[in-house]
């Protein structure tokens, strides 16, 4: 019996997203979007062993806002979001009737929760916000109770991961990974940006020919590649950063601004601003943005020299999972050809 291949899954453990405005609201409850991870878990659970890591080794939090049914429409997310928002603003809104009209989306969410149960264990859930999708807000109590019955699993920290790779008496090595995939949600804005330990991980992945996949807000981690960790554990600047200048698909500024006006991050009746936009942070760090006119359309960007695949949000996750599979298949073909050359 052959052992499974390995896949590295870095997940943000941030639970509060700072706000720039309004001044009296310092932060809002946040977490990761399961939809941006579950498609990858589904595609590879039979072939890969997943290694889950967080920046500090703490348990990540699930963002209840990412459990809204419109996000499970994937490529059709734009139309789904508009129709669900319209229906939820009606006085006659009924949760059960709302769900019955979207049975396929309910079924996909249930499938993703079962993947969470198999692989991630007990996770906390972010608090409902004033503009949280009404159906998702109603679902939160059931979700919290369901997840509370699971066993809590341990997560490696970024630091532990790097140290294990370097330890001469530890068989763990980055060379055993087939790919890296990091999901988004707003949480990565807190602990993926300018994180030298994540910078070291991304450089090690590239040096060991490991495909790296980042989606939605997770590509902000690329700002971390300007630093690496030396043998003494100190962060050092990278001269000639090979990642710099890469074209990146990411949660765009236009979509973020629309959500800040009437989506779940907005504080009702007040101007709401994030402390920064991921798109701006990447451009300031020397990266190029692969943008779209329509913020709900799918955009993937792949840099073959870096083995770097990025996607712009939940609408892209199915195509991104398929692209990971095809890229890994291409690499296996090349490897077999090289052995027989």
Q: In the predicted model, what is the mean pLDDT of residues 123-135?
A: 97
| Backbone φ and ψ of 244, nearest 5° | -60, 135
80 pLDDT above the threshold of 90: yes
11 pLDDT above the threshold of 90: yes
Q: In the predicted model, what is the mean pLDDT of residues 5-24?
A: 97
Q: What is the pLDDT of residues 63-77, one digit of tens each?
A: 999 999 999 999 999
26 pLDDT above the threshold of 70: yes
| Backbone φ and ψ of 320, nearest 5° | -70, -40
pLDDT of residue 126: 98
Q: In the predicted model, what is the mean pLDDT of residues 33-60?
A: 98
Cβ atoms within 10 Å of 112's Cβ, excluding its own: 20
Q: Percentage of the chain with pLDDT > 70? A: 97
Least confident window among 84-88, 130-134, 149-153, 233-237: 84-88
Q: Give the number of domains in the chain.
A: 1
Q: In the predicted model, what is the mean pLDDT of residues 16-22?
A: 98
Q: What is the pLDDT of residues 263-285, one digit of tens each?
A: 999 999 999 999 999 999 999 99
Q: What is the pLDDT of residues 139-183, one digit of tens each?
A: 999 999 999 999 999 999 999 999 999 999 999 999 999 999 999
Reading the block at residue 324, the tokens are 């990971």
Q: What's the CATH number where 319 sits?
A: 3.40.50.880
pLDDT of residue 155: 97
pLDDT of residue 332: 83
Q: What is the pLDDT of residues 313-327, one digit of tens each?
A: 999 999 999 999 999
2 pLDDT above the threshold of 60: no
Parent domain of 16: 5-340
């Amino acid at each position: 019996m052959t052992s499974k291949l390995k896949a590295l899954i870095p997940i943000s453990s941030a639970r509060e997203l700072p706000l720039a405005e309004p001044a009296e609201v310092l932060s809002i409850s946040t977490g990761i979007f399961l939809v941006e991870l579950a498609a990858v878990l589904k595609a590879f659970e039979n072939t890969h062993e997943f290694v889950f890591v967080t920046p500090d080794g703490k348990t990540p939090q699930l963002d209840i806002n990412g459990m809204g049914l419109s996000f499970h429409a994937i490529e059709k997310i734009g139309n789904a979001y508009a129709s669900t928002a319209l229906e939820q603003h009606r006085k006659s809104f009924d949760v059960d009737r709302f769900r019955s009209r979207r049975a396929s989306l309910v079924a996909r969410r249930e499938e993703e929760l079962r993947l969470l149960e198999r692989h991630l264990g007990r996770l906390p859930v972010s608090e409902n916000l004033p503009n949280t999708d009404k159906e998702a807000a109603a679902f939160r109590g059931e979700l919290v109770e369901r997840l509370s019955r699971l066993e809590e699993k341990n997560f490696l920290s970024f630091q532990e991961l790097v140290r294990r790779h370097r330890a001469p008496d530890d068989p763990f090595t980055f060379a055993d990974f087939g790919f890296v995939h990091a999901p988004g949600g707003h949480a990565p804005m807190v602990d993926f940006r300018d994180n030298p330990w994540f910078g070291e991980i991304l450089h090690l992945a590239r040096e060991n020919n490991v495909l790296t996949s980042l989606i939605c807000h997770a590509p902000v981690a690329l700002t971390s590649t300007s630093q690496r960790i030396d043998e003494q554990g100190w962060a050092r600047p990278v001269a000639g950063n090979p990642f710099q200048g890469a074209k990146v698909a990411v949660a765009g500024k236009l979509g973020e601004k629309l959500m800040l006006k009437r989506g779940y991050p907005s504080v009702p009746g007040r101007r709401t601003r994030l402390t920064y936009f991921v798109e701006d942070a990447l451009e300031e760090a020397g990266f190029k943005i692969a943008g779209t006119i329509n913020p709900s359309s799918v955009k993937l960007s792949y840099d073959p020299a870096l083995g770097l695949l990025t996607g712009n949000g939940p609408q892209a996750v199915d195509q991104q999972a398929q692209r990971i599979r095809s890229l890994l298949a291409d690499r296996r073909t090349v490897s077999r050809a090289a052995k027989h050359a």
